[in-house]
Structure 1
């Protein structure tokens, strides 16, 4: 018996369907670019060592790590996307580290260079950063591209709890994220937040409350949901090897998503349901499946259990006096 998944309909508002509709069935592919940035909690302005879970190489494609120039990264990335995935249009994605951690004039030169490569096929600019590295000037710079491109500003929320942010050496409070979300409240930028589930001291009930926090900001258009990775070269990797702690199995993480996704506002677009790390650097969890197999496993479980995005979301009632 055929299911909705067989027809390409998923029980959540997924990014692939959004891109397909927005760009008239064109195949749109993100090209990851490494702008050679650092982070304020790596260079000493806020701290050293970076977030305790982080090794930048674990989520940066080899092509971006080894190519010296932005042009080479983009040209090689586009060539691979066309040959391997029949890509037709592209979003330039500045991903590794903090891609607004520089003066605005420097950022403009870098973004302009990236967008000048194959401009007839580029439809968007996506910039990953930290909320404490965004200000009026940088928001204005990003907004200056919105008359020609869709511009996605992606910020790491990671956790909604300051205790967790302190324990992972984040160097950024949840209040700073709130302030930046207010800054872009009426902006034409597409706002994306990134979360990490599975910090061992956070309970399931604590993690489910992330949904309430995301829901209360209507300016959030996209969300990336990730599970915690333990990777070589990270502080948490050393801690895990010395004293292993529980991390999500695929079944446990899927069970969690089946409870979490129904709590999310139905208009939010889910860019990802899980994260991927370089297998050579990954310590845990080892799920033993590739990306497409994990996606299928989660999608089928969501449909089987009737876990539909927004099905348990209640519109907050405004106070009237």
Structure 2
């Protein structure tokens, strides 16, 4: 009996996806990110800029529970590598400092943290990825991250979230879009790979306002990676409390898929899409609950993109 393999199963997608980019860059090796929690806080939580954090945020919602339970940085890296090897047959690894603000400390302290994580099986580590806020980046920290680029690929992931200062104020971001632009200027001629993270679906932003994110991404030619998230409401967040009192409109999966199919043709084709959506742990998720596993959501979106003939950059 002949078995038909779908284009999706063969890795065919209508956008410049991160998985294919990794396979090509690392000669077919299976490269996976190992998420580590460096124990950092955030200037929007400790009082230097505000308290309570961004209204949508509960840091545990985007930190795997296994990372939260590991008591030391070293154990997190070792355990993360073991899981990726067993579960995904990983060959190589990218150390990903994800939770909270991972440049929010003096440079000498950051160096100690990064050095420790990268010293564990350095022969099998190909990259360092650091997630942070644009207002916690300066020339000294850029130079520190660049010092690793002779041995590893290093990407700096910054939260754009929205391009509108009114939205940033409403979500208690404690950071303006102009501060992101200043951080992007610092990385303009850098050896670092720049990544920005966006959130779609704030209820006061219109469809056209969200599509305009593409124009802002496109005009910064050194933005190499993007991560797209839909707004989801999680336990432990200010927005979660408000939503329970008075629910507001959020994307359904078909609506979000429609939006992505309209957005992707407007994104420069050289931009690598690291993520099309975000998903918190089920025990923390309030809404929207699409009642599907992460892999099922990914397949649903990818199939729609292929079925509709959507092609990244086609509208430019």
TM-score normalised by the chain length of structure 2 = 0.98
The yes-or-no answer on 1:149 pairing with 2:159 is: no
Aligned to 1:73: 76
| Counterparts of residues 15-54 of structure 1 (less than 5 Å) | 15-54=18-57
Q: Is 1:110–2:113 an aligned residue pair?
A: yes
Q: Find 1:55's aligned residue among 41, 58, 81.
A: 58
CA distance in 1 between counterparts of 2:20 and 2:62 reads: 24
Please give the secondary structure, in 1, of the residue aligned with 2:8: helix
Describe the SS at the equivalent of 1:30.
strand
Q: Does 1:310 align with 2:313?
A: yes
- Measure, in 1, the Cα distance between the counterparts of 2:6 and 2:79: 38
| Partner SS state of residue 271, structure 1 | strand
Aligned length: 313
Q: Which residue of 1 aligns with 2:169?
A: 166
Q: Deviations over 1:212-259 (max 9, x none)?
A: 000000110000000001000000000000100011000000000000
What SS is found at the alignment partner of 1:7?
coil
5+ unaligned residues in a row in structure 1: which ranges? 314-321
How big is each residue's C-alpha offset from its partner over 1:107-127, in whole Å with a ceiling of 9 and x where there is no partner?
A: 000000000001110000000
Cα distance in 2 between the residues matched to 1:77 and 1:208: 36
Distance 2:292 2:8 in 1: 20
Is 1:299 the counterpart of 2:302? The answer is: yes
Aligned to 2:133: 130
Instruction: Name the CA distance, whole Å, in 1 between partners of 2:204 and 2:23.
Output: 39
Secondary structure of the 1:47 match is coil
Counterpart-to-counterpart distance in 2, 1:6 and 1:69: 37
SS of equivalent to 1:5 = coil
Moved over 6 A (4+): none
Shift of 1:4: 4.0
Matched position secondary structure for 2:34: strand
Cα deviation, 1:35-78, whole Å, max 9, x if unaligned, reads 00010010000000000000001110112111111000011111
1:97 maps to: 100
Q: What is the deviation of 1:167?
A: 0.2
Q: What's 2:17 paired with?
A: 14
1:212 matched to 2:208? The reply is no
* Residue 175 (structure 1) aligned with residue 178 (structure 2): yes
RMSD: 0.9
**CA 1:51 to 1:73, structure 2 compared with 1: closer, same or farther past 3 Å?**
same
Residue of structure 2 aligned with 1:120, choices 114, 117, 123: 123
Q: Give, in angstroms, the shift of residue 2 of structure 1.
A: 7.0
* Structure 2 residue corresponding to 1:264, chosen from 264, 267, 274: 267
**How far is the alpha carbon of 1:6 from its aligned partner?**
4.7
**Partner Cα distance (2:116, 2:25) in 1:** 25
- How far did 1:7 drift? 3.1
In structure 2, C-alpha distance between the alignment counterparts of 1:154 and 1:86, rounded to whole Å: 26
- 2: distance between equivalents of 1:5 and 1:63? 30
Distance 1:78 1:276 in 2: 22
**Structure 2: which 5+ residue stretches go unaligned?**
none
SS of residue paired to 1:294: helix
Give 1:190's match in structure 2, choosing from 190, 193, 202: 193
C-alpha distance in 1, partners of 2:213/2:103?
25
